Structure 1
Amino acid sequence: MNKTATELPLLTIALCAGEASGDLLGAHLMNAIRAHYPHVQFVGIGGPRMEAAGIQSLYDQEKLAVRGFVEVVKKLPEIVAIRRGLIQALKKIRPQVFVGIDAPDFNLGVAESLKHAGIATVHYVSPSVWAWRRKRVKKIVKQVDEVLCLFPMEPELYRQAGGRARFVGHPLAQTLPLVVDREANRRQLKLPERVPVFVLMPGSRVSEIDYMAPLFLQAAEIIHQRYPQAQFLLPLATAATRQRMQTILAQPVWQKLPVRLMSAHAEMACQAADVALVTSGTATLEVALCQCPMVISYKISPLTYIYVKHKIKVPHVGLPNILLDRGVVPELLQGNATAQKLAQAVIHWYESPQEVQNLQADFSTLHQQLRLNTDELAAQAVLQHASGQI
């Protein structure tokens, strides 16, 4: 690039991330874009990481972090108002490109409106079209100019529907080490080397904390009875989830349970732990890439569950099981998600070192498949679309 930053035209890139995992993706993408094109400004909706990277966030990201059909209905008027306001603001600002980061139910509607207004649109992270509602692909290719896919089986689905998509790898596979030094991570966290260490990951949203945290704590209590020296790490991605977790832990029933809250640093916790108990979602892949055995669980409201269960077209819900195409880790969902069953499954991993070794070999294979220079590839894609708008 021969021109200095001040000689370059100013790029305005809009981004919208609806929750903590998208906030991390967005921050990495912003930094990679700026490394290529310093004369850039970012606007939209982002969380603390994206704000630290320089986005002008027009709304509080936490207001979008709602899960489940019933829960979304309750918040729908506010969410609709935010989407309307964001679209109006971006039509006035006219960024060179809009990047919706995950949160497809929110972002694809924004992208569609902006595309009709002549603004380039990119969606970063394909919805799980291979798992359920596959017909969405035909609509998505009309809503956005390109989809950036984290998993290798996804781009072909969009190409078959006449759209553009590319596999950029998974950013976690790029940033996490292929070989985990569990002892070093324990030393960094000042954890004893010989005691059992378990990670509790009840979710990245307040609504997930409400559903899953009490169940995970009940399971931890059973595990603690078996291993009195056990330590429990509980990393939390946002201030809102940390505040809700502190309220739950303040209840007298949990006073004696050795739970250590951590502000983010989930990867360090997982790389130090023996086993993780994790709510189904992006976090399951993070745990796998940290080489940590896990038990996956999920509970939602009965009405939401009835709505969702008939639409799922894959035999597994956890990303490690889906990507490896077999059930390498247990999934205890809805009625099977009891404290006793969760505790027993965690204990089984802790007491089965040979099975853990085999599992970690599977996780290593998965890591290699997903390991590309994701930030760089995503940044190049976004800048290609932006350059066509200058």
Structure 2
Amino acid sequence: MASKSIDQNVTEILISAGELSGDTLAAEILSELQKIKPKSSKAVNYHFFGNTGPALRVANVEKIHDIEELSVVGLLEIAKEYRRLSKILDNLVELCIARKVKLAILIDFPGFHLKLGRKLKAHGIPTVLVSSPQIWGWRYKRIEKIRQSIQTVLCFYPFEEDIYLREGVNGQYVGHPLIPKILKARKEFPVKKEKNLIALLPGSRKSEILRLMPAMLDTVNVLQEQGKNWKYEIAVAHDGARRILQQFELPPKVILSKRPTYALLSRANSALACSGTVTLECAYFQTPFLLMYSANALTAWLARKIMTIPYLGIVNAVLGRFATAEFLQEEIIAEHMASELIRLQESKNRRASMLADFQLVEKKMGSGKAATLAARAIHSLL
């Protein structure tokens, strides 16, 4: 794309999102940024351009590339698409130089954005990375690449800020963008627990459902054989997930619900949960859970080689200790998970301890104003 003529009265800013969730957050940040009064009496006109999705386009960001062009998952796929992605990266660098960009805002997709950040930094263009890669979980050495590529990292978890500051990188905790949605949902679906209701949360991806659902159902069968007269509910987010779940022979008292996951969490007394942000949602809805996750053998082997902390779950990572049980790979044994679920259901001490930990997680996670705080941090760099 040819570079446009430069308006000296306009501050050019690159914004690049790598996936839809980042696109949505980016649009929210831009909305908050426009509300901040300029540092001087002189009006400031921002012009944003870059890799956009639907939300950024609605926010009038000039599209250079669509985020669909960056939609690559897996090591082999990234290797195959290397040349095409390199062309996109080089095009963005050329435009940033030609337009005398004041700042580059890079959101998610760290493999691409760290390379882009390094090239921009070499040309004296400041960069801010929104959402830290999970260096605390694996590949901690990536922090050196971040130091070489990024001026400021805006973190979603409080302990990430501590890591960056300790390593001499400017990290700022702004909060998790999911929190406002959770808090809003908690008002819409007030917590009112049904003692005999268990939530089954196998994830939303096809691979997760296919790997975890059999073990979840085996656990239900063990509990029913032990005479536990509990009900089980699965919140089905979309038709694709429903079609996958309907392939399984569901035991008695296991139902598929069309209601939102938040509606289920407000009522569920305990949960079997796939690793991911749903475990943070469980904490906010005061739903004690056990975490389970299974990947293909090669991915699991690699993960164990490069993991830097002993836990996978977000709640445990925020607290810096095991507050919830984790069942990973060969540890996924129905009898063991059934025993832990019985503890969650019937042990007052176990439940009280976990609920207290959930309150601590909520306190540590903060106000839930990620977009506002991110906008303020970005504005301070302009």
Normalising by structure 1, report the TM-score.
Answer: 0.75
Q: What is the Cα deviation at residue 325 of structure 1?
A: 2.5
Q: Tell me if the contact between 1:196 and 1:231 (Cα under 8 Å) persists in the aligned partners.
A: yes
Taking a change above 3 Å as real, the CA distance of residues 382 and 206 of structure 1, as seen in their structure-2 partners, is farther
Aligned pair 1:109/2:115, yes or no?
yes
Q: Does 1:83 align with 2:78?
A: no
Contact kept? 1:224, 1:230, Cα under 8 Å: no
Q: 1:120 aligns with which of 126, 137, 161?
A: 126
Give the counterpart letter for 1:170 in structure 2. H
Q: Distance in 2 between matches of 1:52 and 1:259?
A: 35
Q: Deviations over 1:203-246 (max 9, x none)?
A: 5x4543443345445545666784464332244xxxxxx45423
Structure 1 pair 47/341, CA: closer, same or farther in 2 (3 Å)?
A: farther
Map 1:4-23; keep pairs closer than 5 Å. 9=10, 11-18=12-19, 20=21, 22=22
Distance 1:126 1:167 in 2: 10
Aligned equivalents of 1:46, 1:275: Cα separation in 2 = 39
| 1:331 matched to 2:339 | no
Aligned to 1:259: 256
Q: How does 1:224-373 map to 2 (within 5 A)?
A: 226-227=228-229, 229-235=231-237, 242=238, 244-251=240-247, 253-254=249-250, 257-261=254-258, 266-372=261-367, 373=369
- Alpha-carbon offset, residue 360 of structure 1: 1.5
Deviation of the 1:200 alpha carbon = 0.9
Change (3 A) 1:161 1:349: closer
Q: Is the 8 A contact 1:178 1:364 kept in 2?
A: no
Question: Residue 284 of structure 2 aligns to which amino acid in structure 1?
Answer: L
8 Å CA contact 1:63, 1:79 repeated in 2 = no
Query: 2:10, 2:217 → 1: CA distance?
Result: 53
Q: Percent identity?
A: 25
Q: Measure, in 1, the Cα distance between the counterparts of 2:53 and 2:352.
A: 37
What SS does the aligned partner of 2:306 have?
coil
User: 1:343-386 deviations in whole A, cap 9, x for unaligned?
Assistant: 4433432333443233112111221122143322211222333x
Maintained 8 Å contact 2:156/2:174: yes
SS state at 1:134 partner: coil
Report if aligned partners of 1:24, 1:49 keep a CA contact under 8 Å in 2.
yes
Q: Secondary structure at the match of 2:249?
A: helix
Confirm or deny: 8 A CA contact 1:171 1:375 kept in the other structure: yes
Deviation at 1:126, TM superposition (A): 2.3
- How far is the alpha carbon of 1:147 from its aligned partner? 0.9
Alignment of 1:208-223 (within 5 A): 208-219=208-219
Q: 1:336 to 1:119 in 2, by over 3 A?
A: same
**Residue 19 of structure 1 contacts residue 47 of structure 1 at CA under 8 Å; is this kept in 2?**
yes
Structure 1, 362-371 or 41-50: larger mean CA deviation: 41-50
Q: CA deviation at 1:92?
A: 4.8
1:202 alignment partner in structure 2: 203
The amino acid across from 1:330 in the alignment is A
> Retained in 2: the 8 A contact 1:146–1:163?
yes
Paired residue type of 2:373:
L
SS at match of 1:154: helix
Q: Is the 8 A contact 1:29 1:379 kept in 2?
A: yes
> Scaled by the length of structure 2, what TM-score is found?
0.77
